Amino acid sequence: MPEKLSALKHDGELLGPYERNDANGGPKTPGDIYALADFFVYLSEDETIVVPSRRNPLPAL
């Protein structure tokens, strides 16, 4: 997984910070959203959570 995190940080475009909702209604988890190819990828600050998505979770400007 370290090589994939490195590729995400090197090849991905950092779009901005994002706080992801907890699945069980707990506190939000801070992290960043990256654009990579046809995906948007959430990476938590502690780099333990990686969630790819085809939908951009950031609000449109």
Tens place of pLDDT per residue across the chain (61 aa): 788 888 898 999 999 999 999 889 899 999 999 999 999 999 999 999 999 999 999 987 6
**Residue 1 has what DSSP assignment?**
-
> Tokens representing 45?
């600050």
Q: What does R_g of the chain's alpha carbons equal in angstroms?
A: 11
60, part of any domain? no
- Confidence (pTM): 0.86
Which residue range(s) make up the domain with 47?
2-53
Distances (CA, A) of 30 to 2, 33, 37, 38: 20, 10, 23, 23
> In the chain, how many domains are there?
1
59, part of any domain? no
Q: Which pLDDT score, from 0 to 100, does residue 61 have?
A: 62
